[in-house]
Chains A and B, each alone.
Chain A
């Protein structure tokens, strides 16, 4: 998978954090709301007091999909792709779209924690592994 994220002024901190194997999510310094996808303002306070902070990387699976016929060039060794939507423990509804590592198929409700996958393209994908 060669599609790389664009590390622009909003998303750059997330991807730089991933490169350092830290999961960083924007957070409002006034009300404490976690903001993802990144936005320059807090949608509740409408202030710009928003900075990336490290999260636990733990959460649970809220949905899944399994790609057999990928829409983008994909290493056959990585098929099928086990997609997950993960809701992080920090806040209800704070979700990441990601994939799980390993062969075991995830199910809704499974607990997961973040792992970092350094890709050949020079970026790092936060992915998840199933935990007991």
Chain B
């Protein structure tokens, strides 16, 4: 998309809980959207665009639920971004495109999800028949992203010497950031030894390599840079965004097994970055459904070369005070699995200078990403104005 045509102006989270609290996805969606709209200094009547992910499967709600629930009268554009795509990032990019195209002027993008109450998230009922490409994986018990990405991680380790200790460092540094976030579901510091003692789920992934399933709603508000000038917080401009998946986005049949679709989305994002580059980035909010995804996204964005992610994280770069503060809210790993909307909201808060205890000093440029494997979305956000 063209640079700097859209500004992020508001953000909000509901409480994040690990166990059902009696508040479902519908109530959390309204709470998150209303809070984000008011954070932007606006009211629901000002909103004329809505985007959500997933917005159509069990545990989530449609954009229309929010339109009705918050009494919006003049919505001109909406989308429920279900299906393939980099999770919550899809809704944010779609909303940005809608604002840039003039389909709406003020859009709210949200993700609200409540885990199934009756069984573990991700568990699939037995006795079902699965269609299409998943039919070549699920009958083998190969039914979760944990396993699909474990095979990518194994390949990365084989080709580049990446180790489980490198993954441990990501779990540890992300938790250090989470300890500064009162909202995070997991705030107790952990060590590399804790990681090593954590049981394998799907080798090489241990439990501490996997994100933390939660119930939560998160929303952000987008508008034009012109409208943003009148709003209370420093506008965060979308310099560049890409959903490029590459030529063969597939868990099994990808062109190679070490560069995810992330590489294509990040490359496309930088190609339209208007002169900004990896050296200009103050913080990274990269999708971390698993520790390995953090490493892979850092390589994709070019903070280190392909295969150098292990050494890069081992340097302590990701930690508070490190050279590339990463997932400063605690990520999906420790704040909780908000499917990446937490990453977007955190980037907005940091670039607005509202990061609280975990504020990265003078943060002006951030990369944000969503997805893993064949799903990828990348955004470059920045702010120039002091406010």
Contact = CB atoms under 8 A, between A and B. Distances in A.
Contacts, number: 141
Interface string A104-116: 0000100000000
A66 B202 contact: yes
Contact of A5 (B127, B135, B204): B135
Contacts of B129: 3-6
A125 B124 contact: no
B131 interface: yes
B34 to A, nearest CB: 35
Interface in A74-101: 74, 78, 80-81, 83, 85, 93, 95-99
A48 interface: no
B247 to A, nearest CB: 9
Given A1-B141, A3-B130, A85-B257, A68 B201 contact: yes
A71 B253 CA distance: 22
A95 B252 contact: yes
A13 B122 CA distance: 29
A5 B141 CA distance: 12
B135 A66 contact: no
B151 A63 contact: yes
A123 B132 contact: no
Interface stretch (B19-27, B152-160, B280-288, B345-353): B152-160
A71 B139 contact: no
B64 interface: no
B155 to A, nearest CB: 4
Nearest to B121: A71
Interface stretch (B37-45, B142-150, B225-233, B375-383): B142-150
B203 to A, nearest CB: 4
Contacts of A2: 126-128
A80 B205 CA distance: 14
B199 A69 contact: yes
Chain B interface size range: 35 or more
B139 A1 contact: yes
A118 B151 CA distance: 25
Contacts of A37: 132-133, 136, 250, 252-253
B138 interface: yes
A102 interface: no
Given A6-B131, A81-B140, A97-B252, A108 B124 contact: no
B267 to A, nearest CB: 21
B116 interface: no
B338 to A, nearest CB: 20
A68 B257 contact: no
A67 interface: yes
A3 B124 contact: yes
A102 B114 CA distance: 40
B139 A3 contact: yes
Contacts of A98: 140
Contact of A62 (B126, B136, B146, B257): B257
Interface in B193-242: 199-204
Interface of A: 1-6, 8, 10-11, 14-15, 36-37, 62-74, 78, 80-81, 83, 85, 93, 95-99, 108, 119, 123, 125, 127
15 contacts: A6-B135, A37-B136, A63-B257, A70-B141, A72-B124, A72-B141, A78-B141, A80-B203, A85-B252, A95-B253, A97-B136, A97-B140, A97-B151, A97-B252, A99-B140
Interface of B: 120, 122-124, 126-133, 135-144, 146-147, 150-152, 154-155, 158, 199-204, 250-253, 255, 257
Q: Which 3 A-B pairs have the closest CB atoms?
A: A65-B150, A5-B135, A71-B144
